[in-house]
Amino acid sequence: MCNPRRPSRFWVTLLDQTQLKLPEVIAALSLATDLANDNPPETTLRICYIALEIAREAGLRPRELEDLYYGALLRFIGCTAYAHEEAVAMGDDVAARHSLARVDVSRPSRVLGTALRSSKGKSKPAVLWNFLTQSGTMFSNFTAANCEVACMLGQKIGMPEGVLRVLEQIHERWDGKGGPSRVRGNALLASVRILHVANTAEIIRQAAGTDAACAVIQDRSGEQFDPDVCKGFLRIGRDLLHSMETVSVWDEVIRRAPRSESSPGGARLRKIAEAFGSFVDLKSVYTAGRSLNISNTVERAAQWMGLKDTEDLVIASLLADIGMVSVPTNLLEKKGKLNPSEWERVRLHTYYTERILTRSPVLARIAPIAGAHHERLDASGYHRGSSGPSIPQGGKLLAAADLYHALLERRSYRAPVAPSSAAQMLREEVARGRIDRTCADAVLAVTNHTAISSSPGAESTSTLSPRECEVLTLLASGFSNKEIGAKLNISHRTVQHHVEHIYGKISVSTRAAATLYAVQNGFLRA
């Protein structure tokens, strides 16, 4: 893996000129978390705005307000951590999260009814069976994975300890029936208790209106929610929720941002992009580490080509697939051919990527590059169907790197392609007039046609044994314990022991967090 380059003078100058503050970057990227939950655009921003209004009424201290602010914007950054398991249990994970967000999880009959009504791509008997046999462990695993990954990504971004503590408690409840730690009552942070009310109020308002939202907050007072926070909300809630129809939430959230934040330099912005790239990659067991692998190749290829301002290309490549969170995981992992409507959902991800990045002044300039990574010179690509000169040079390079790495990755319907074969297929795309020849040459030159490292995690500072490194690499690549055992010629029970030891050594408790650890420590480098 290449070491991050020092930002060029041109990059720093652009940042200084835009005077971009950190909240504008995080606010723009929060739109991706809305997509991942099938929520209307700016849902996360509205939750943040409502929470800040409740907090002002409650008299929170400045430090608590800052923790609440970023905790609200990053509220859903761990929501892809359990997407694979949700898809296996319920089909369309995006639709399931959207529907279940409105339900009181302490009432199993309502959870089951909602799960059955919202199931897509999975038969209702299968959903019922999964609920009856796995519901207890599913909820605890879901909350653990979400919170664990949210904290890891928040730490990657550079959030302070207070924000990380908020992210640890996003699925807890006032009555102790949440997860993963069953924290209850005043042991919950004040900012978390406020965020819980704000989140549910906005989700219910969208589904059923202001009156219904206020009624739900009243009904769950003393159970899911702190009764004092509920009282504070109900004093202002009706007018506050009605204002959602007219207020510019973006402007209000940016205006209320913590004043201490300065413009994120190139290194900070890269960390943010890496975190949100991992947020996307965790959605499927077939894409772990994808954004980092592609960005590393793009950076080296751009340098090989003598391009200037490679940092723009790196950020674009890390965020190119951010719109992919709108696609249900069961489609990404489908073994058969996608039908036309399913394929259209996949094709739209580049459009969403471009729209999300356009919202931030500094990210807007990389939006055309990121949005062009599936365009082709002969106009056969998407989403614009651009051709030749109308595709940015950075987009052409990203398209070549994206295709090369896609071929190296395992899919539900095929094994990974050997590097030499991937190189040949890339050359064939050049010959067909679809991929730029110079960009393809650069990608192939810097990859040297090498295979995936035979010594996974060799640069990691962990204390894992060679066998544990092998197990972690396969686990992070989406293989089950049974499949890992077959590949390594060891028993299922031995694999489970290895997994338990790995979790203990790297201080995680979920597959998603272990996968993120593997990505960040070089186990999945290509």
- Taking each helix axis from N to C terminus, what angle separates 190-208 and 210-219, rounded to the nearest 10 degrees? 140
Q: What is the pTM of this model?
A: 0.88
Q: CA of 225: how far to CAs of 60, 182, 184, 400, 505, in Å?
A: 17, 14, 10, 50, 36
**Neighbour count for residue 136 (Cβ, 10 Å):** 10
| Omega cis (within 30) before 227 | no
Burial 407-434 (b: 16+ CB within 10 A, else e): bbbebeeeebbebeebbeebeebbeeeb
What is the Cα–Cα distance from 85 to 180, expressed in whole angstroms? 17
Q: What is the pLDDT of residue 374?
A: 97
pLDDT of residue 406: 97
Q: Where are the domains of the chain?
A: 19-256, 266-447, 466-520
Q: Same topology for domains 19-256 and 266-447, yes or no?
A: yes
Q: What would the 3-class secondary structure string for 183-249 be?
A: CCHHHCCHHHHHHHHHHHHHHHHHHHCHHHHHHHHHHCECCCECHHHHHHHHHHHHHHHHHHHCCCH
For residue 92, what pLDDT is reported? Answer: 92
pLDDT score at 346: 96
With beta carbons less than 8 A apart as the criterion, state whether 206 and 39 touch: yes
Q: How much is the pLDDT for 263?
A: 58
Query: At which residue do the structure tokens 């593997």 appear?
Result: 518
Class of domain 266-447: mainly alpha
pLDDT at 122: 83
Q: Are 318 and 293 in contact (CB under 8 A)?
A: no
Coil, helix or strand at residue 139: helix
Residue 462: the pLDDT is: 56
Count of residues for the chain?
Answer: 526
Look up tokens 């949005």; give the residue. 371
Read out DSSP for 464-487? --HHHHHHHHHHHTT--HHHHHHH
Nearest partner of 74 among 149, 167, 196, 171, judged by Cα: 167
Residue 337 per-residue DSSP state: P
CATH architecture of 466-520: Orthogonal Bundle (1.10)
**Exposed, middle or buried by CB within 10 Å (0-12, 13-18, 19+), for 520?**
middle
Q: Specify whether the CB–CB gap between 89 and 134 falls below 8 A.
A: yes
- Cα gap 361→357, rounded to integer Å: 8
Indicate the angle between helix axes 93-100 and 108-118, nearest 10 degrees: 140
Residue found under tokens 């249990």 = 89
From the list 171, 122, 114, the residue with the least C-alpha distance to 142 is 171
- For the chain, the straight-line distance linking the first and the last C-alpha, in angstroms and rounded, comes to 9
Question: How would you write the pLDDT of the chain (526 residues) with one tens digit per residue?
Answer: 233 333 332 223 333 333 447 999 999 999 999 999 999 999 999 999 999 999 998 999 999 999 999 999 999 999 999 999 999 988 999 999 999 899 998 888 888 887 788 778 788 888 788 777 887 788 899 999 999 999 999 999 999 999 999 999 999 999 999 999 999 999 999 999 999 999 999 999 999 999 999 999 999 999 999 999 999 999 999 999 999 889 999 999 999 998 755 556 778 999 999 999 999 999 999 999 999 999 999 999 999 999 887 999 999 999 999 999 999 999 999 998 999 999 999 999 999 999 999 999 889 999 999 999 999 999 999 999 999 889 999 999 999 999 999 999 999 999 999 999 999 999 999 999 999 999 999 999 999 863 333 344 444 445 789 899 999 999 999 999 999 999 999 998 999 999 999 999 999 999 999 999 999 888 887 6
**What phi-psi label fits residue 248: left (phi over 0), alpha (psi between -120 and 50 degrees) or beta?**
beta
Task: Using DSSP, state whether 366 is helix, strand or coil.
Answer: coil
In CATH, which superfamily holds the domain spanning 19-256?
Answer: Hypothetical protein af1432 (1.10.3210.10)
Q: Are 476 and 515 in contact (CB under 8 A)?
A: yes
Given the structure tokens 């990380």, which residue do they identify?
164
